[in-house]
Structure 1
Amino acid sequence: MKKLIKVHPDDNVAIALTDLAKGDKIIFEGETVVPLSDVKAKHKISLGDLESGSKIIMYGVLVGKTNIKLPKGALLTIDNVKHLSSKTTEKTTSFNWSPPDVSQWENRIFMGYHREDGQVGTENIWLFFPLVFCENKNIERLKEVFEKELCVEQVSEQRQLLRGLLGGDSEIQEKQPKKSIFENIKVKFITHQGGCGGIRQDSELLAKLLAGYVNNGNVAGATVLSLGCQNLQINVFKEALYKVNPNIKKPVLIYEQQQMGTVDNMLNTVIKDSFLAIKEANKVERKPAPLSKIKLGLECGGSDGFSGISANPTLGHASDVIAALGGSPILSEFPELCGVEQELVNRCVDNEKAEKFLRLMQSYEQSAVDAGSGFDMNPSPGNIKDGLITDAMKSAGAAKKGGTSPITDVLDYTEFVLKPGLNLLCTPGNDVESTTGMVGSGANLVVFTTGLGTPTGNPIAPVVKISSNTILAEKMPDIIDVDTGPVIRGEKSIQEMGEELLEYLIKVASGELVAKADKLGQDDFIPWKRGVSL
């Protein structure tokens, strides 16, 4: 196995593929590189002597600068390297794309739920949610009723363990799979802390996000609870819903507590009406659909030094195949695109899209600066510990999720994906906020790359986890769906791994496999309040 890898010919640093000992003599690209200290796998070392203030190049782009003199073989750390990224103002070159060979995928299908507006869902969900946090308790009561009565309860290993400790059955019985009374419909629930208080714009943005969830191809219909006096009024939600889809025909049941009297009176009505609607939605069955109907959310979290050379490029290849077939990959997390703006701008299909992307990026970054922060503060302690020491370094690897295809559209938060091809969507880099936003913009399937392990999921869209390294996959098998560690070991190419991932996604989209996040019940939902959230 190789000990070092240089991602791009122009790079002046290399990534350690395995732990390196101080004084090791490593032959790399015909030259001897000697680590000047012990170097853990995933971290970077200098391939030449660098003066103080020298630019650090990785993935062929500027990712930082030295603040002291670094000799050849020196380990890069947060103490000797600072964030630095290139400034981008406009498109600088035309873009020509050589799409991957998709002949083997052109006639492939997945089994999905067809909607009247032409969207196809990978799930068939009846969704309950409130317009305001005051209704969270009622949503939780409905969840308890519907989940207990519509599903055969599965007693968790932890509950069985506690029973034993309390003096009951000390042996943990084999768990039975959770079975729903209805075969073709799932019932899911969202709660949140918004809808009133704060500023009106927060409620308006939440209305758009919730409208996007109802409009998502994975949703068959919804039950909505309103208190009555909150900022997010029913008419505000309806306006947002009809704006995202003027011809929407899905059943949406809306109830206002202050008009209905007692809690019991309202909940009894909600349960009777919703049960009949769910029973009707259960009649929809999976039917064949082309892969062009996939709207694929591209997410990363708990990233490590291998994410940008294994998991993210693997997802990038799958993204390119989906784009070439007429599907819609969605790349978000704008703070984690800092430093690669020029490449993305040049990939935009026209100047209008390029200008919108730069405007959104600059506005977002300025809001962070105004709050006393900045994109340079984005890498988390976990990122840094595993070799991602600047935001630009993290971004250069994170952007690989978006492959190499043209960018056909640029969307602000809550704008819905309508165009085939790669879409850029403005969201925070925060895992749940970003995933929440992509699904609200139409993603019917999400792939989440991770190097450290993250259990994030979503209420209405499957979230498939892929690991950058095999150690993680073996340590957290209940979270990881696909392991891209073979890329690090040189056993599989990015293309081979990407095709393996795509085969897995087709099975998940068809309901043949259940994503690990769904098995764990990870129904995470966090709206972005549009303040500073990195």
Structure 2
Amino acid sequence: MEFMGFLRENGEVGVRNYVAVIPTVGCVNEAVEAIAGRVPGLKPLLHHQGCCMIPSDIEVVERTLIGLGSNPNVAAAIIIGLGCESVSIDRVADGIAREGKPVEALILQEAGGFSKVVAKGVEAARRCLEYAERFRRQAFDLSHLMIGIKCGSSDATSGIVSNPAVGLVADKIIDAGGTVIFGEVTEIIGAEHILVKRAESQAVANQIIKAVDDLENRIRSLGIDVRGSNPTPGNIRGGLSTLEEKSLGAVVKIGRRPINGVLDYGERPRGKGLYMMISPGREMEFLTGPVAGGAQLLIFTTGKGAPQGYPIAPVIKVCGNPDTVKRHSEHIDVDVSGVISGNETLEEAAEKIFEKLIKVASGEKTRAEILGYDKTMNIYVRGMIL
């Protein structure tokens, strides 16, 4: 089985061919938006981080921005800085350039203000787009694919239909030599004993336990219990009664292969296989993590209907709830509700998802891309804003 992708200078393969405009800090989001608004074909990556943060979070933000600009779906990148932020525009630009991509870096304060940096950004964008136009799709085997997997707005159907069907797809990608990233540590709580048994080594097992313990301890340090906010009211209306029940349904989406490692947020896998990324459950932060880690596509299961896409990586929405599929058909890419009605097996549902994955990897647009519901993102940080 093959897909049609874009070969990059570093040997990686993209499924989209974008020029990304990346702010180093939220203070220049308006400049980034203005540049993207004046030159069709750009992808702005607007976020609200980059300054007045503890050093460890600055490191995370820099690593994440480098990862986003280095993603195989990005042909070239324009970095816009303010000039006084904590994140280093030079480190971000250099990190992306090391992957063989053209990078142009502009600083608003040095350019002489908003209008001047936008004008310079427009010129840079035209140069980058001209470079991106040289790429053409070619055939590649599935070992070049890295996918992120998430569930959101989950209900009782998620753990018995869409998640296990996606798990079968994850196994298929890994067996073909590809890579799968999962995370959402909040939705591992109560099911970590299952994942530990699948760790390829005791060191990986210890990292899984530590990730869960660290999160629970952070929450307890605030004098609260995560179970007061998770499962969410929507999860409860959808039939999920406890966090443990939600977690047991969530972890089946990662299939049955060994877990090869635990990644920090936005970190790239060190090899092929299945990896857990330390990350939150909320969509806008989670989706950024695997994409910064190199994932070209994301599979997102939903029970109640979560419409989010992502700026530089297509998000395939899978749903097993027949009522949601009917009400929110404009957001659902793959309808697997036939498993509930008895009209299809989990294996048949998985094959539908896999076929859609290959089509999307080869250029077919997802519902979120068609609707333009793919602009929101953010970066996960763990410390206070100073």
Q: Normalization by structure 2: what TM-score?
A: 0.95
Q: Indicate whether 1:345 and 2:200 are aligned.
A: no
Instruction: Report the counterpart of residue 55 of structure 2 in structure 1.
Output: 200
2: distance between equivalents of 1:437 and 1:345?
22
Of residues 107, 113, 119, the one that matches 2:12 is 119
CA contact under 8 A between 2:320 and 2:338: conserved in structure 1?
A: no
Post-superposition Cα deviations, 1:7-59, rounded to whole Å, max 9, x if no partner, equal xxxxxxxxxxxxxxxxxxxxxxxxxxxxxxxxxxxxxxxxxxxxxxxxxxxxx
Q: 1:374/1:295 Cα in 2 relative to 1: closer, same or farther (>3 Å)?
A: farther
Per-residue deviation at 1:495? 1.1
Instruction: Report the counterpart of residue 501 of structure 1 in structure 2.
Output: 353
Of residues 144, 152, 174, the one that matches 2:37 is 144
1: distance between equivalents of 2:382 and 2:369?
28
Per-residue deviation at 1:428? 0.5
After superposition, residues 372-411 of structure 1 pair within 5 angstroms as: 372-377=223-228, 378-411=230-263
Post-superposition Cα deviations, 1:233-270, rounded to whole Å, max 9, x if no partner, equal 2234356x26xxx9411011101122222433322222
User: Residue type matched to 1:133 in 2?
Assistant: G
2: distance between equivalents of 1:531 and 1:333?
18
Moved over 3 A (4+): none
CA contact under 8 A between 1:313 and 1:400: conserved in structure 2?
A: yes
Per-residue deviation at 1:417? 2.2
2: distance between equivalents of 1:459 and 1:134?
19
Instruction: Report the counterpart of residue 330 of structure 1 in structure 2.
Output: 181
1: distance between equivalents of 2:72 and 2:22?
17
After superposition, residues 263-412 of structure 1 pair within 5 angstroms as: 263-377=114-228, 378-412=230-264
Post-superposition Cα deviations, 1:297-326, rounded to whole Å, max 9, x if no partner, equal 111100001100000001000001001111
Of residues 118, 134, 145, the one that matches 2:27 is 134
2: distance between equivalents of 1:232 and 1:385?
42
1: distance between equivalents of 2:201 and 2:189?
20
Post-superposition Cα deviations, 1:309-366, rounded to whole Å, max 9, x if no partner, equal 0000010000010011111111110110112212211111111211122222211221
Q: 1:519/1:480 Cα in 2 relative to 1: closer, same or farther (>3 Å)?
A: same
2: distance between equivalents of 1:431 and 1:530?
16
Per-residue deviation at 1:137? 1.2
SS of equivalent to 2:53: coil
1: distance between equivalents of 2:198 and 2:283?
25
1: distance between equivalents of 2:288 and 2:89?
22
CA contact under 8 A between 1:360 and 1:412: conserved in structure 2?
A: no
User: Residue type matched to 1:426 in 2?
Assistant: I
Q: Indicate whether 1:518 and 2:369 are aligned.
A: yes
2: distance between equivalents of 1:409 and 1:218?
24
Per-residue deviation at 1:469? 1.3
Of residues 198, 216, 240, the one that matches 2:71 is 216
2: distance between equivalents of 1:445 and 1:423?
15
After superposition, residues 364-513 of structure 1 pair within 5 angstroms as: 364-377=215-228, 378-511=230-363, 513=364
User: Residue type matched to 1:321 in 2?
Assistant: K
1: distance between equivalents of 2:311 and 2:247?
27
SS of equivalent to 2:316: strand
User: Residue type matched to 1:226 in 2?
Assistant: G
User: Residue type matched to 2:237 in 1?
Assistant: K
1: distance between equivalents of 2:313 and 2:239?
31
Post-superposition Cα deviations, 1:214-233, rounded to whole Å, max 9, x if no partner, equal 11111111101111111112
SS of equivalent to 2:307: coil
Instruction: Report the counterpart of residue 47 of structure 1 in structure 2.
Output: none
Q: Which of structures 1 and 2 has the bigger CA Rg? A: 1
2: distance between equivalents of 1:359 and 1:498?
32
Question: Which ranges in structure 1 are unaligned for 5 or more consecutive residues?
Answer: 1-107, 151-185
1: distance between equivalents of 2:69 and 2:30?
21
Of residues 188, 212, 225, the one that matches 2:80 is 225
Per-residue deviation at 1:274? 2.1
Of residues 217, 234, 238, the one that matches 2:89 is 234
CA contact under 8 A between 1:204 and 1:236: conserved in structure 2?
A: no
Per-residue deviation at 1:138? 0.7
Per-residue deviation at 1:201? 3.0
After superposition, residues 177-188 of structure 1 pair within 5 angstroms as: 186-188=41-43
2: distance between equivalents of 1:420 and 1:403?
15
Structure with greater contact order relative to length (CA < 8 Å, sep ≥ 6): 2
Aligned length: 382
2: distance between equivalents of 1:293 and 1:346?
28
1: distance between equivalents of 2:66 and 2:92?
7
Instruction: Report the counterpart of residue 54 of structure 1 in structure 2.
Output: none
Per-residue deviation at 1:143? 1.9
Q: 1:431/1:305 Cα in 2 relative to 1: closer, same or farther (>3 Å)?
A: same
User: Residue type matched to 1:506 in 2?
Assistant: I
1: distance between equivalents of 2:329 and 2:383?
35
Per-residue deviation at 1:418? 3.5
2: distance between equivalents of 1:400 and 1:432?
22
Instruction: Report the counterpart of residue 253 of structure 1 in structure 2.
Output: 104
Q: Over aligned residues, Cα RMSD in angstroms?
A: 1.6
SS of equivalent to 1:116: coil
CA contact under 8 A between 2:79 and 2:93: conserved in structure 1?
A: no
1: distance between equivalents of 2:181 and 2:117?
39
Post-superposition Cα deviations, 1:414-470, rounded to whole Å, max 9, x if no partner, equal 211232111111100112211121211111100110010011110100001011212
Query: What fraction of aligned residue pairs are identical, expressed as a percent?
Result: 36
After superposition, residues 17-56 of structure 1 pair within 5 angstroms as: none
Instruction: Report the counterpart of residue 92 of structure 1 in structure 2.
Output: none
SS of equivalent to 2:331: coil
Instruction: Report the counterpart of residue 65 of structure 1 in structure 2.
Output: none
SS of equivalent to 1:309: helix
Q: Normalization by structure 1: what TM-score?
A: 0.69
Per-residue deviation at 1:199? 2.6
